[in-house]
Amino acid sequence: MTAVDDKTWLEVGTLDEIPRQGARVLKREGGDIAVFRTAADEVFALLNRCPHRGGPLSEGILYGRNIVCPLHNWCLDLASGEAKEPDEGCAPAYATRIEAGRVFVCTEPN
């Protein structure tokens, strides 16, 4: 993570502001980013556009490290953004880190 230029790390809020097994949205011109929090309090970030037909991933049901798109049930891996078989596609993923309860997202995709 240190390899990334410090300027691209953006503080988005505190962990408490994101519901467990849920998501909140970081609004920005280059495309909204969904910031997810798993049951185990890990944080992940994906571009908020399903690779299938653009569904808002932030509104899906989250389990384990997976997010299920609300429009047609594609299931994506939160860490990589890759769709699970048999579907094919990938949502750009962004690095995240938590420091003292505050959540940072790297706004350059991995």
Binding site for ligand FES (CB under 6 A): 50, 52-55, 69, 71-74
Partner whose binding site includes residue 74, from ligand FES, another protein, none (CB under 5 to 8 Å by kind): ligand FES
Rounded to a whole number of angstroms, the distance between the first and last alpha carbons of the chain is: 11
Partner whose binding site includes residue 86, from ligand FES, another protein, none (CB under 5 to 8 Å by kind): none
Burial class of residue 57 in the structure, from the number of CB atoms within 10 Å of its CB (0-12 exposed, 13-18 middle, 19+ buried): buried
In the complex with another protein, which residue's Cβ is closer, 72 or 110? 72
Measured from the CB of residue 28, what is the shortest distance to another protein in angstroms?
5
Is residue 84 at the binding interface for another protein, with CB under 8 A as the rule? no
Is residue 13 at the binding interface for another protein, with CB under 8 A as the rule? yes
49 contacts 57 by C-beta, under 8 angstroms: yes
User: How many residues are recorded in the chain?
Assistant: 110
Work out the number of other CB atoms within 10 angstroms of the CB of residue 83: 19
Measured from the CB of residue 90, what is the shortest distance to another protein in angstroms?
19
Is residue 52 at the binding interface for another protein, with CB under 8 A as the rule? no
Looking at residue 48, the DSSP 8-state letter turns out to be: S
